[in-house]
Copies of this chain bind each other. A is one copy, B any other.
Amino acid sequence: MTDLVTFGETMLRLSPPGDERIETADQYVVRAAGAESNVAVATQRLGLDATWVSKLPDSPVGRRVTGELASHGVETDIVWSDEGRQGTYYLESGESPRGNNVIYDRADAAVTTATPDELPVDRIRSASAFHTTGITPALSETLEVTTQTLLEAAADAGTLTSFDVNYRSKLWEPEVARETLTELFPHVDVLIVAQRDAENVLGRTGEAASIARELAEEFDFEVTILTRGSEPALAVADGTTHEQPTFEATSAHPVGTGDSFVGGFLSQYVAGESVETALEYAAGTAALKRSIPGDIAVVTPTEVAAVIEGGTADISR
């Protein structure tokens, strides 16, 4: 049986090598990248049995995506389509003051037309948990409906539902996002939201802890996690607030840190561990991710444990 099903878009990420620029590079490094598949991979690598569900163009480019995800052990359950394109994004990385630059080219991806009819809803119903993010309903009106339907189906079936707000300003306006999200929240058990999104999108103000508690109460989430960049993350569960500091880490590969946090959390929480344990694991996975190229947390449980125990997995000879 599947422990976790995730649903969403995975793009091909095209990056100039090292710190070259998009404008002048002659090669782009190719990687699969998507919030929900990032989570599926992280949980699979950390012990769950994960499946990623989506819709992709029936082409070598689409298979490039599933091949990379499957290489980490994730099962992919795909609607292969003759219509719609493979979404891509261009990412370049540079040291300060240049920073990272992202150019999305994801319009009209095959996934934007995915309907519940064609998706394996039964797998979601029979899984222990289901996870998606706020990116998915933002991609198209069809996906807004589909996301709602899948969350409802999962909730009805007793599948734990997890949702990461993951607001993307290039996809929708805060007001639109707020409206859509608050319709989805009643079907959500575990909510993850960055403090910045809680403020700008959900319109919350005040101290982090009170924001978390407020959200927890308003939507009756089982677990409400507020992430805060390099500040400690907060989780409210059963009326208790847990605080989890971040582990020190490089900023070499920040993209995917948030998804790794969620993957680390779910890998433990879905397996029955406590919120505290899961949070610690989340922070350890996120820290490790920042040292790993690509969007995906190519980590092992041993490595996460080593980070939590305060050391690094440095050379043992």
Contacts and interface: CB of A to CB of B under 8 A. Distances in A.
A67 B105 contact: no
Contacts of A277: none
B30 A29 contact: no
Interface in A273-317: 287-288, 290-293, 298, 303, 306-307, 312-317
Contact of A71 (B24, B86, B247, B317): B24
A28 B26 contact: no
Nearest to A104: B317
A284 to B, nearest CB: 8
A106 to B, nearest CB: 9
A317 B169 contact: yes
Identical copies of this chain, number? 6
A102 B316 contact: yes
A139 to B, nearest CB: 13
Mostly, the A contact residues are loop
Contacts of A70: 70-73
A291 B97 contact: yes
Contacts of A317: 102, 104, 168-170
A108 B61 CA distance: 19
29 contacts: A18-B18, A18-B293, A19-B252, A19-B291, A21-B60, A21-B292, A21-B298, A22-B60, A23-B61, A25-B64, A27-B28, A60-B103, A70-B71, A85-B107, A88-B88, A95-B249, A95-B250, A95-B290, A97-B247, A97-B249, A97-B250, A97-B307, A98-B292, A98-B312, A100-B315, A101-B314, A107-B108, A170-B316, A255-B315
Interface of A: 14, 17-31, 59-61, 63-64, 66-68, 70-73, 85-86, 88, 90, 92, 94-105, 107-108, 168-170, 247-250, 252, 255, 287-288, 290-293, 298, 303, 306-307, 312-317
